[in-house]
Structure 1
């Protein structure tokens, strides 16, 4: 028996309708091709990877995550954390492919394969194989056991039940609700020795991707979940709804509401970023033209705007340049005060110079706070 899908109240349906409206708006905006689309998608995927891994204590900057995604050595992240990031990115890449696969069914083999991709570098944790015994989740500070997974003897049956439900169960329920319930059930089954939280969040993204909820990097709520305040709420609601042991029941609406709120807040954020991207790109084009620089330099300036750090290799790949061309462009941008170089040779990178810092500061004060849809409904 799995945790049951709840019926939605009118307030939940109203929030769900707003989420759908925002997703449709995002879909129409993404249908148009823009110069900044690739960089924005990369940023969003990096932030999703950052959010999900930070929940587990694997912390890395967005810039280093983008380097890892490109197969480069990160500048600040440790080798052990870089392996966790690379594994998770590999699993998300596969999820992107599965989201579009014409022939697909959920099965335990797919779940085990995704777990192996995530933690395959930790062979001592038997990646991709059902845990051999009991498993306990402890409070990172106190060491107290906050959750005990179901007995290992029942785990294979629970996974089979979950897979059957993913393929056939509650198909009339909204996709966001089904994705939330997939997350809740997998994280409480806790079938592997490691990677259970990341797997559950990734499965939520896969369920949405299979239901054509835009694209995974725009549908994921992992960035939102990784923020400190949200992370505390995430653990609290999982503890409240899931209990301290495997105990399926029907009172799962608080969990679904938490996920709907997360989707709403993240959709607001992505929609804002999409709108800002066009405004920022246009402004930077005007500045590059006024300085007599090649138009392609806007790509480097946009990266410097949305990131803390820019590397020559990333700009070179984005604009399909030779190493010499990319280096000259970045040198010119530094000379004109747009960028500030640090380090030497392979470790060289660029941060915002005084002119870019001024533009970033101007935009930082414009954004209105995101709107909590449930707080507004309650009021």
Structure 2
């Protein structure tokens, strides 16, 4: 397997900053707030979106949240919806495993997670090791950019990885161990499909087991699926892989890439959590002044963080009857908070004039995130 690298002084400083942000986040989450559950759902949806978009399965956060709540998506194709549902099932199980009292990594668990993700692809032998060689190609050129180890090596390499997950480098920082779990699994490439998603999910599981924070708040899958970061992600993998299984190569550049991602995502999540409280209190004040029911704030917060809201989600969030939920949403639309579109099952609510104004005000306050390595090197 690829070895865990020693960190330099600059890496230790970046790591210390990440741990400080995560401790602060964990402290703030220890006190329950009305918005915590909605923020967790939003973060999980964004993680699912990020990891699947890397593989070419594109869906909006709003459609992913619909799939998570058992509703049919409005825009996403049935084929992509199956990918989203499979990945969501695996992440949900990872969340459960992160809190389990008795836990042990084994190859069976990894195969089971792969089956959850791609079980709908019966032709790709989900949940079982690949029977032959595997090649990763550049989607634009068709060029082979990585060749996995021979399939006969896969069972032994998986066994070695599992042993390391349970017993190896236990004194290394959790973020570093999780990064190396990710890299080694994607380098082994043990399945015919789902290797990238499995490797990113394994990283999230390692962090969850180490109680960094709950998986939704510690995952970097959203960040990896964001714009140029996806290209940087491929470059970071290729720099170490060098086209083939080469476990003697230095992995420090990969670990640095992952630490940077953790730092950037931790900044983003911290801002969202702080913003959530501020927005929620503002909405409570504004809706209260208009005589609207306090529960409607959850509907408005959902529209604040995304493009739209559907009745079924609000109804489930607040434990309402269909009639109660529909009546609340009509009142919010009449008061200028929401704008309805579509009919029957396709009906959704987008921001109305009042909400658009608030979203614009908060968007103007946004500041660029700080790249920790550039800041420390300057």
Q: So what's the TM-score if we normalise by structure 2?
A: 0.99
Hey, what's the Cα distance between the residues in 2 that align with 1:368 and 1:10?
28
**What corresponds to 1:157 in structure 2?**
156
Hey, what's the Cα distance between the residues in 1 that align with 2:376 and 2:250?
21
**What corresponds to 1:58 in structure 2?**
57
Structure 1 unaligned residues grouped into runs of 5+: none
**What corresponds to 1:308 in structure 2?**
307
**Runs of 4+ deviating beyond 4 Å:** none
Hey, what's the Cα distance between the residues in 1 that align with 2:145 and 2:40?
36
Residue 82 (1) aligns with residue 81 (2): yes
SS of match in other structure, 2:266:
helix
Paired residues for 1:261-300 under 5 Å = 261-300=260-299
**What corresponds to 2:127 in structure 1?**
128
Compute the RMSD of aligned alpha carbons: 0.6
Hey, what's the Cα distance between the residues in 2 that align with 1:94 and 1:35?
24
Contact 1:338–1:356 (Cα < 8 Å) also in 2: yes
Paired residues for 1:119-268 under 5 Å = 119-268=118-267
Contact 2:67–2:81 (Cα < 8 Å) also in 1: yes
Contact 2:57–2:80 (Cα < 8 Å) also in 1: yes
Hey, what's the Cα distance between the residues in 1 that align with 2:144 and 2:223?
26
Hey, what's the Cα distance between the residues in 2 that align with 1:72 and 1:115?
24
Contact 1:49–1:223 (Cα < 8 Å) also in 2: yes
Hey, what's the Cα distance between the residues in 1 that align with 2:107 and 2:362?
47
**What corresponds to 1:338 in structure 2?**
337
Hey, what's the Cα distance between the residues in 1 that align with 2:245 and 2:93?
29
Deviation readout 1:188-211 (Å, 9 max, x if unpaired): 000000000000000000001111
| Deviation of 1:378 (Å) | 1.2
SS of match in other structure, 2:243:
coil
Contact 2:90–2:116 (Cα < 8 Å) also in 1: yes
Hey, what's the Cα distance between the residues in 1 that align with 2:81 and 2:70?
11
Hey, what's the Cα distance between the residues in 2 that align with 1:100 and 1:301?
31
**What corresponds to 2:373 in structure 1?**
374
Hey, what's the Cα distance between the residues in 2 that align with 1:241 and 1:268?
27
Deviation readout 1:199-239 (Å, 9 max, x if unpaired): 00000000011111110000000000001210000000100
| Deviation of 1:243 (Å) | 1.5
Q: After the TM superposition, which of the residue ranges 241-250 and 324-333 deviates more from structure 2?
A: 241-250
Hey, what's the Cα distance between the residues in 2 that align with 1:242 and 1:4?
13
Contact 1:5–1:250 (Cα < 8 Å) also in 2: no
Hey, what's the Cα distance between the residues in 1 that align with 2:320 and 2:313?
10
Contact 2:49–2:59 (Cα < 8 Å) also in 1: yes
**What corresponds to 1:97 in structure 2?**
96
SS of match in other structure, 2:365:
coil
| Deviation of 1:293 (Å) | 0.7
Deviation readout 1:323-354 (Å, 9 max, x if unpaired): 00000010011111110000101110000011
Q: So what's the TM-score if we normalise by structure 1?
A: 0.99
Contact 1:316–1:326 (Cα < 8 Å) also in 2: yes
Structure 2 unaligned residues grouped into runs of 5+: none
**What corresponds to 2:41 in structure 1?**
42
Hey, what's the Cα distance between the residues in 1 that align with 2:97 and 2:33?
25
| Deviation of 1:250 (Å) | 4.3
Hey, what's the Cα distance between the residues in 1 that align with 2:153 and 2:92?
31
**What corresponds to 2:23 in structure 1?**
24
Hey, what's the Cα distance between the residues in 2 that align with 1:142 and 1:71?
38
SS of match in other structure, 1:365:
helix
